[in-house]
A = this chain, B = another copy of it.
């Protein structure tokens, strides 16, 4: 059976709301409008306005209210129309949600989810394209998940809602409409995926490629191309950015001896930097080549289609980097 990521997220919300009356959804346009990206379609009708709450466009206010409700013991799911707008509420996510359990020595737990599309979409320009994975994942107290497939979306969102800690759940607008096959097991309402565990999407021998969200698809396509040229790439879908599954990553690199990290966000202090460092710390002697980092270009997102394409990783970038890691020669291009 096939299912879009949108349907996967929608069904996950639906099932968890149906299973636990403490779960509720709040955010801009999540109710009557059915969600800016229709993730919450049908939920208002099914669960009523007490549990599906349209908010004003006031992220600091409604996020703080969501966190207060979690202090009280409810299990809020707060939708950001996109994660760019979470910056208006980031003090609450960090100082009110992430740190409370620690500061209170366990008295004030914050069982909730912050979710919405993250990172680049298509043609939406500099203010609507930022990836927040590395920022949130730098903060102890938060868990940060990022699904790729429909199975990821269902299993991780359901796990996030059931989790007793604050989870930042980073979706991708361009994946919402994509269809993926889903197993019968994944369709069961009891299905969840473990938080903190990466998934080896494709086994390989010669080079490890780590990615999350949309870039997993690109990495898989790159692996297809590489396999035609005799390079067997292992593709790791991180799923969880915090906790980061250092074990799976290091085990893979110890096998392949080569690493390419892929992400859409800005490179400096990014997810790739952490993965590279983790491998240097734990598997330095296994590395046969410098780690290759593929990331968003180090510029704000431009609007023009040709520049935008240059600003985010393409499949050929991953292929090229993997070949470099495997010491295949590649022609050096001139600086732009």
Contact = CB atoms under 8 A, between A and B. Distances in A.
Contacts of A139: 266
Interface string A70-96: 000000000000001101101100110
A33 interface: no
Interface string A46-87: 000000000000001000000000000000000000001101
Contacts of A98: 300
A280 interface: yes
Contacts of A120: none
Contact of A290 (B141, B270, B280): B280
A98 B299 CA distance: 10
Interface residues on A, range: 35 or more
Contact of A302 (B102, B274, B276): B102
Interface in A147-189: none
Interface in A107-150: 125-127, 130, 134-135, 137-141
Contacts of A233: none
Contacts of A99: 126-127, 300
A134 B269 contact: yes
A87 B63 CA distance: 14
Nearest to A292: B281
Contacts of A127: 95, 99, 103
Given A95-B84, A103-B125, A291-B277, A270 B130 contact: no
A2 interface: no
A328 to B, nearest CB: 17
Contact of A273 (B87, B125, B274, B299): B274
Interface in A243-296: 244, 265-266, 268-274, 276-277, 280-281, 284, 287, 289-293
A45 interface: no
B266 A269 contact: no
Nearest to A297: B140
B95 A298 contact: no
Contact of A140 (B87, B272, B292, B299): B299
Given A88-B91, A98-B300, A103-B125, A268 B291 contact: no
19 contacts: A84-B95, A88-B91, A99-B300, A102-B126, A103-B125, A135-B138, A135-B269, A140-B299, A141-B300, A268-B274, A269-B274, A270-B274, A272-B277, A273-B274, A276-B276, A276-B280, A280-B280, A280-B290, A281-B290
